[in-house]
Chains A and B, each alone.
Chain A
Amino acid sequence: MSRSEIAEHAGYLGDEVKLAAYEAALKEYVRPDTVVVDLGAGTGILGLLAARAGARRVYSVDRGSIIATTEAIARANGLADRMVFVQENSSRLTLPEPADVIVCDQIGGLAYDAGVLDYYHDARRRLLAADGVFVPGSFRLLAGAVDADHWRQTVGLWANRPAGFDMAPMFEQAVNTEYRTEVPADHFLGTPEVWASIGADHGDPVQGEAELVIERPGSLNAITGMFVAAMSPSVELTNCPLLPNQFKRWQNLYPLPRPVAVSPGDRVRVSFDVRPRTYLATWTVEVRAGSEPAPVRSRGSTILGKFMTGSDLAYTSGTIVPRMSDGLAADRFVLSLVDGERPLASIIDATWAEFPDVFRSRDATKERVGSLLWRHARPEQPWSISPTA
């Protein structure tokens, strides 16, 4: 595991507000016969909370190899006998029984951007009992007008001729980017408003708008996207710094192309279009400020913030004709050797013998073959000990 992954999991475990909210919600739902599924389990913490609350069975699901550690942690806590550990993508998961409760922590900064909506949309059909519940169960999506220091570091920078050069093309991408940052409460220029309320299994595009009223003078340079998650009928959790029960989570930041001087009573109309399945966000902002002769309108979209070349565009259109390359021929050769009998070491040796000019060394061959086959050709059963390739 990388250092950043360790830090990420440490962050999850170090957030007492969030863990308390999940535990309180699970205690409301879990009964002695309850079946719980923890999607994207990681260390397994949410499944452990469900098991400790008395669930009959907990399925901890994670596509990553952390699942072995998840199981070891459950065993260390004497809870493994009621837990099942599955290394699988939630979209390919099948279970022997319907779940009464499905829980997950992939709630991002605006719910749509980390997976929960898409996972639950799929899980509703395939995994959840008819009277089952999701934790969290729904979201109110909020927008706030802010003066964010992060804007100056990530957007404004490109407009100020860094190192004496015109960086306008980078600026174009910077204003079409969704950022993650923590905006202090005193950088909010007014009260955030709700622009959409959705169930946690809402997999379709989410569109909505809100009017924000400026309450203190400042320099408006971005809109924050935040949420209030309804964990259960009596428990809420939010990443909005102006509301109670805030957990340690960034806010999403949607930049304006330039700061607008605003005063109390000025109005900002914001509309959002976010796509849970493809993680795209588009935001339109209209600022009616006393300092400006006319409304200041702007629009950003993460689909325009990507680096794009002409050939990237040709690929997206589907009209390009892909051509065979040495690397592609080597990959095709590797795949042709997968017959359910031949061991990995033999596939590596044959590929290295056939394509010495492509790979340069057996180690490089091993790395390429391993990464190609790892994702789709792993055995169904957990690993068994065998000689290394």
Chain B
Amino acid sequence: MADQTFIAPPTVVSRQVGGEMVLVDLNSEQYFSLNQTGSVIWTALAAGQSITNAGANLVATFDVPAETAAADVDALVQELVAAGLLHPAD
């Protein structure tokens, strides 16, 4: 699980708006917004980094304990996958 990587479907586009990351699913035309923490996690995962690396990015950016970061990443990954914004890579 910790080494799992993900792919953002080609029908999902993203852009930074203010401090938030806005994701749009072109098929449903639904908008999603991520706060700064979510934005760091999304950027790492969408670039093909593993869950572990995404957590390490959080620790480096926000100076949070590693366990907290790992829990944040896991929770967001579940939501992103459920919303179809990320797919597990093979």
Contacts and interface: CB of A to CB of B under 8 A. Distances in A.
Interface in B10-56: 10-11, 13-18, 20, 22, 24, 26-27, 29-33
Interface residues of A, number: 19
A304 B22 contact: yes
A308 B10 contact: no
Given A273-B10, A273-B26, A304-B13, A317 B18 contact: no
A282 B29 contact: no
A284 interface: yes
Contacts of A361: none
A299 B15 CA distance: 10
Given A172-B16, A304-B13, A313-B33, A275 B26 contact: yes
B26 A303 contact: yes
Contacts of A251: none
Contact of B15 (A273, A304, A310, A317): A304
B22 A299 contact: no
Contacts of B16: 172
Contact of B13 (A205, A282, A308, A316): A282
Contacts of A275: 26
Interface of B is mostly: strand
A301 B17 contact: no
Nearest to A280: B26
A176 B33 contact: no
Contacts of B29: 278, 280, 303, 316
Size bin of chain B's contact surface? 10 to 19
A284 B10 CA distance: 9
Interface in A291-315: 299, 301, 303-304, 308, 310, 313
Interface in A185-227: 205
Interface string A142-155: 00000000000000
Contacts of A280: 26, 29
A308 B17 contact: yes
B10 A317 contact: no
A310 B29 CA distance: 17
Nearest to B23: A304
A316 B18 contact: no
Contacts of A278: 29
Contact of A301 (B13, B20, B27): B13
Nearest to A299: B13
B11 A273 contact: yes
A317 B30 contact: yes
B31 A316 contact: yes
A203 to B, nearest CB: 15
Nearest to A307: B17
A308 B26 contact: no
A303 B13 contact: yes
A303 B10 CA distance: 14
Contacts of B11: 273
B31 A313 contact: yes
A176 B13 CA distance: 11
Nearest to A207: B10
A310 B18 CA distance: 9
Nearest to B15: A304
Contacts of B32: 317
A282 B26 CA distance: 9
Contacts of A301: 13, 24, 26
A275 B24 CA distance: 14
Given A172-B15, A275-B26, A313-B31, 14 more contacts: A280-B26, A299-B13, A301-B26, A303-B13, A303-B26, A304-B14, A304-B24, A308-B17, A308-B22, A310-B20, A310-B33, A313-B20, A313-B22, A317-B32
Interface of A: 172, 176, 205, 271, 273, 275, 278, 280, 282, 284, 299, 301, 303-304, 308, 310, 313, 316-317
The 9 closest A-B pairs by CB, nearest first: A304-B15, A301-B13, A316-B31, A303-B24, A313-B33, A308-B17, A313-B31, A304-B13, A282-B13
9 contacts: A205-B26, A205-B27, A299-B13, A301-B13, A301-B24, A303-B13, A304-B15, A317-B30, A317-B32
